[in-house]
Amino acid sequence: MKTRIVFSEKCLGYGTWHIEGPQRVKAAHDVLQAKGYKFEEPTPANDEEILAVHDADYLFNVKKGLVEDSDTPAYQNIYEFARLSVGGALLASKINGFSIMRPPGHHVGRNGAALGVYTRGFCYLNNIAIAVKESGKRTVILDIDGHHGNGTQEIFQGDEKVAYISLHQSHNYPGTGNFTEENCINFAIPRDIGGKMYIETLDKALSMVNLANFETVAVSAGFDTHLGDLATLGLVEKDYFEIGRRVSLLKKPAFFILEGGYVGEKVGLDIDSFLKGYEENL
């Protein structure tokens, strides 16, 4: 258990009625605590860090509670929650840790909803994108959430310092990522494909990147690919061990940012399995 978990109880303070609610992260936290992981507290990101990715008028509107869509409410003080979650990503990047902070981030682009999608999919600020920009490092972003990270693709498409790889369920929200574009390698996968074919697809995707061009790996770690979750690919706990092992085989420093995954206890167990696989060869 070398990887530290980044978490602040403050992220549990909003949205109790929503599927992207505090219960999912609380339960995951409790599983990881019981397993003996060490925790680190983040501090909030500042405007300068956020503005490296987002437009000033979008940030202004988030601060004022002026942006809202059908699945991304303008909660009171959401800006404070969102910038603390970004702070979690920044800390995870610095210590090669795993941030389990919420809200998630990969659906939100520079100016809100990304690539023509009409909602921000529970996201306010793009945590992983801000952490990657702030590091200044040439980065492979591996997005294993079951939904395409349309925001992250919008931010980095054409950016030669970044390779973005996403494996996600086809015919699901947000509907983007159906083919590979420039530096954005996308695999839209049929529902409940199962672990064996998932890992084969992951190996194929990773082989498409020239690793010599990159210094570090950032993982958008969503667990809604778990069997029965919102974007199920039929994966079970042991499959995340194999995914973690694939990340370690890239032989680069890595950090991890929670995206989706809506059954908290399973998220905790899947994170533990993922990190055990990742750490096997460290």
Alpha helix (H) residue ranges in 35-77: 47-51, 56-63
Q: Is residue 147 a contact point for Zn ion (CB under 5 A)?
A: yes
Phi, psi dihedral angles at 9 (to 5 degrees): -60, -20
In whole angstroms, how close is the CB of 266 to Zn ion at the nearest point?
A: 14
Question: By C-beta, is 24 or 147 nearer to Zn ion?
Answer: 147
Chain positions 248 to 277 lying near Zn ion, rule: CB under 5 A, are 260
Residue 221 CB, nearest distance to Zn ion (Å)?
11
User: By CB under 5 A, what part of segment 206-225 binds Zn ion?
Assistant: 222, 224
Considering the complex, state which of residue 134 and residue 145 has its C-beta at the smaller distance from Zn ion: 145
For Zn ion, the closer of residues 49 and 154 by Cβ is 154
Known catalytic residues?
107
Min dist. Cβ of residue 212 to Zn ion (A): 31
255 within 8 A of 96, measured Cβ to Cβ? yes
> Which DSSP letter does residue 69 get?
B
* Residues 22, 14 contacting (CB under 8 angstroms): yes
By the rule CB under 5 A, 20 interacts with Zn ion: no
Taken as a whole, the chain contains a residue count of: 282
- Alpha-carbon distance 122 to 129, whole Å? 16
Q: Does 24 bind Zn ion (CB under 5 A)?
A: no
- For Zn ion (CB under 5 A), the number of binding residues is 6
DSSP type of residue 27: H
Taking the complex as a whole, how short is the minimal distance between the CB of residue 117 and Zn ion, in angstroms?
Answer: 13
Report whether 188 contacts 177 (CB < 8 A): yes
